[in-house]
Amino acid sequence: MGTLKLSETLSKHVGRVWNVAWHPKGNAFASCGEDKTIRIWSKEGSKWVNKIVLTDGHKRTVRSVSWSPCGSYLASASFDATTAIWDKKSGEFECNATLEGHENEVKSVAWSKSGNLLATCSRDKSVWVWVVAEEDEYECAAVLNAHSQDVKKVVWHPDNDILASASYDNTIKLFKEDALDNDWICMATLVSHESTVWSIAFDKTGSRLASCSDDLTVKIWKEYPPNNSEGVPTTDNDSTWKCVSTLSGYHTRTIYDLSWCHLTGLIATACGDDSIRILKEDDESDPNAPNFSVICTTECAHSQDVNSVTWNPVVANLLASCGDDGTIKLWNYIE
């Protein structure tokens, strides 16, 4: 069993902190919350300090934040139905573009690997794909109405322009651009969860996806491309995604977020029972029926619900979390 060692507790936000996101270089992160602010944190000596506060971008809760892969842009999704794009071109962080169009709360925002595409999703049940046209110009390339309920999370594939979304309708959907007519289409619907899917994360290769839900389970999905050796049937030359593992019995309340580390392969989960758990795939696990075990449970990681967890993309085993208790915590996982 490993341990999660708390290295710092940061409390600058007022009220619930919804999301934390590492800068791609791993030396800074952004946080956002109920207090309508976005805070950017970086290291000063051995301490994490909050030097930048972005206050005037949103009129309501800021639900999620996401850095562009180049690290120059930060996108923020808000309950005020807009997504703001911030950059430092003038020397200071400023909002230089606001994406409008969703009918109500924007729940999540994510940049594609290339940095040319941006996805947002909303309680209005839609997922929007935006193309970065010119400097500070964003054009809507697609409005995807495949979900039947509130869409909670959007995540891009680590290498390709494939978008995954998770919803209150209990499903996960995958989207891609159709090469023939440049239309964005839903290529797969992943059905197995029995309640809201709150978050999803691809592994390093992008051939597997982890999901977490209000049904108290974590599921692992595997891609079976056309003509796969396992003989899993596919249609229209699209891959089939199959649930190959379900981890149940560990989480006692809704699982709000998870993060699949691309450096170590560990999965961290954020739970409504105030705990953070670390999952590890067993050695010599069967790829078609992998076995994941909980190797660490940190009870009372926060004094209220944990809303978000995210592994540092550069420093292995460094985890950031935030919760309803208004704090952000930094942890080191020690095997």
Partner 1 sequence: MELENTNPSIYNKIKDRLVLPEEENDDVRDEFDAREIFDLIRTINDPEHPLTLEELHVVEDSLISVDNHKNIIKVLYTPTIPHCSMATLIGLSIRVKLLRCLPPRFKVNVEINPGTHSSEHSVNKQLADKERVAAALENSHLITVINQCIATRGI
Residues lying near partner 1 in the complex (CB under 8 A): 16, 34, 60-61, 63, 79, 104-105, 107, 123, 150, 152, 168, 195-196, 214, 253-254, 272-273, 303-305, 324-325
The nearest distance, CB 281 to partner 1, in angstroms, is 30
The nearest distance, CB 17 to partner 1, in angstroms, is 12
Nearer to partner 1, 153 or 157 (CB): 153
Nearer to partner 1, 152 or 208 (CB): 152
Instruction: Round to whole Å and give the CA distance between 252 and 214.
Output: 10
Residue whose pair of structure tokens reads 């460094």 in the numeric block: 318
Nearer to partner 1, 34 or 223 (CB): 34
The nearest distance, CB 60 to partner 1, in angstroms, is 5
Please tell me what DSSP assigns to residue 239.
P
Buried b (16+ CB within 10 A) or exposed e, 273-285: bbbbbbbbbeeee
The SS3 of residue 232 is coil
The nearest distance, CB 61 to partner 1, in angstroms, is 6
CB 166 within 8 A of CB 153: yes
CB 112 within 8 A of CB 132: no
The nearest distance, CB 10 to partner 1, in angstroms, is 18
The nearest distance, CB 239 to partner 1, in angstroms, is 30
- Burial class, 237, CB count within 10 angstroms (exposed 0-12 / middle 13-18 / buried 19+): exposed
Tell which residue, 259, 266, 262, has the closest CA to residue 280.
266
CB 268 within 8 A of CB 257: no
The nearest distance, CB 192 to partner 1, in angstroms, is 17
Nearer to partner 1, 38 or 261 (CB): 38
Nearer to partner 1, 157 or 326 (CB): 326
- The type of residue at 26 is G
Nearer to partner 1, 31 or 61 (CB): 61
Buried b (16+ CB within 10 A) or exposed e, 74-94: bbbbbbbbbbbbbbeeeeebe
Buried b (16+ CB within 10 A) or exposed e, 116-154: ebbbbbbbbbbbbbbebeeeeebeebbebebbeebbbbb
Nearer to partner 1, 123 or 277 (CB): 123
